[in-house]
C-alpha cells in the first residue's frame, strides 16, 4: 500500500469509522447490507480491523514524536560540542602552530572531517590527549582553555553518544511501527474496498444512503 500523508490517514480512519457505524445504526442500510451478507457479525469484523489499525496508527504517531524529540536532543548536543571544539581547535592551532608533533597528537592538522563518525573520532582524540597531559593543559591555558573546560567537553562527548544511541533506537522503533501500521491499513483497505463494492450494489437506487457511508454520489 502506498503510504498516505498523516492527515489523509486520519481522515481515512474517520471515514471508515462513520461508514461502519452507519452500516449498523441506519435501519435501511443495515437491512440491505445484512441481506448481502454484511450482518452485525461481519460488520464487527470490520470494526475489529479498524480498531487494530487505529491502535497501530496511534503507536506510529507516538513513536514518530519520540523519534523527533530524540533527534532534536541529539542534534542540540552535537551542535554544543561542535561549537566548543571548534573554538578549542582554533586556539590550539595558534598555540601549536610551530609544534607539528603536538598538533598531530591532538589531531588538529588538516581539515576537520564532516562525516559524523570521523568528526567525533577527531574530537575524542583531541580531548583524550588534552585531558591526560598536564604539560599540554598548561600550554592550552595560555588562551583560556582550562582543565575544567576540557573535562566538560569529555562529559559532552559521553552525553552526545548516549543521545545518538537513544535517537537510533527510537528511529528503529518508529520504522517498525510504520511497517505495522502500513500492514494494518492494507488489510483494512482491502476489507473496506469489498464493503464499499457491496454497498454500491445494494444502495444503487438510494444514493443518499450511500453518502451516509462516506461515498459521494455524483448525479
Q: What is the DSSP string of 194-207?
A: HHHHHHHHHTTT-H
Q: What is the pLDDT of residue 1?
A: 42
In a domain, 3, yes or no: no
Asked if residue 6 is part of any domain, the answer here is: no
Check: pTM over 0.75? Answer yes or no. yes
- 109 found inside a domain: yes
Q: Which of 53, 49, 17 is nearest to 178 (CA)?
A: 53
Would you tell me how many other CB atoms lie within 10 Å of the CB of residue 179? 12
Structural domain includes residue 120? yes
Please report whether residue 162 resides in a domain.
yes
Does residue 204 fall inside a structural domain?
yes
Q: Is the distance from CB of 202 to CB of 33 less than 8 angstroms?
A: yes
Number of Cβ within 10 Å of residue 109's Cβ equals 11
Is 20 domain-assigned? yes
pLDDT in the model for residue 4:
67
Domain that holds residue 69: 11-213
Q: Which pLDDT does position 214 carry in this prediction?
A: 86
Cα separation, 218 vs 100, in Å, equals 80
Q: Which long-range contacts (CB under 8 A, 24 or more apart) does 151-158 make?
A: 152/84, 153/81, 153/84, 153/85, 153/88, 153/123, 153/127, 154/127, 156/77, 156/80, 156/81, 156/84, 157/81, 157/120, 157/123, 157/124, 157/127
What's the confidence (pLDDT) of residue 24? 95
For the chain, which ranges sit under pLDDT 50? 1-2
Count structural domains, the chain. Answer: 1
Give me 92's grid cell: 590550539
User: Is residue 129 domain-resident?
Assistant: yes
Nearest to 119 by CA among 154, 150, 81: 81
φ/ψ of residue 215, rounded to 5: -110, 110
Q: Is 142 helix (H, G, I), strand (E, B) or coil?
A: helix
At residue 143, the pLDDT reads 97
Amino acid at each position: 500500500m502506498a503510504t498516505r500523508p498523516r492527515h489523509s490517514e486520519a481522515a481515512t480512519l474517520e471515514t471508515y469509522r462513520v461508514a461502519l457505524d452507519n452500516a449498523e445504526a441506519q435501519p435501511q442500510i443495515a437491512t440491505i447490507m445484512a441481506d448481502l451478507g454484511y450482518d452485525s457479525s461481519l460488520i464487527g469484523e470490520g470494526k475489529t480491523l479498524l480498531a487494530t489499525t487505529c491502535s497501530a496508527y496511534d503507536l506510529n504517531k507516538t513513536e514518530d514524536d519520540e523519534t523527533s524529540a530524540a533527534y532534536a536532543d541529539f542534534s542540540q548536543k552535537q551542535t554544543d560540542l561542535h561549537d566548543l571544539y571548534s573554538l578549542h581547535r582554533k586556539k590550539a592551532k595558534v598555540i601549536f602552530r610551530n609544534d607539528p608533533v603536538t598538533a598531530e597528537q591532538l589531531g588538529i592538522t588538516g581539515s576537520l572531517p564532516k562525516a559524523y563518525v570521523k568528526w567525533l573520532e577527531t574530537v575524542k582524540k583531541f580531548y583524550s590527549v588534552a585531558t591526560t597531559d598536564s604539560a599540554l593543559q598548561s600550554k592550552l591555558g595560555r588562551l583560556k582553555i582550562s582543565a575544567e573546560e576540557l573535562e566538560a567537553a569529555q562529559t559532552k562527548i559521553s552525553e552526545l553518544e548516549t543521545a545518538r544511541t537513544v535517537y537510533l533506537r527510537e528511529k528503529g522503533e518508529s520504522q517498525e511501527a510504520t511497517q505495522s501500521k502500513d500492514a494494518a491499513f492494507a488489510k483494512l483497505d482491502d476489507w473496506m474496498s469489498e464493503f464499499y463494492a457491496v454497498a454500491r450494489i445494494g444502495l444503487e437506487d438510494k444514493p443518499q444512503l450511500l453518502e451516509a457511508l462516506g461515498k459521494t454520489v455524483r448525479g
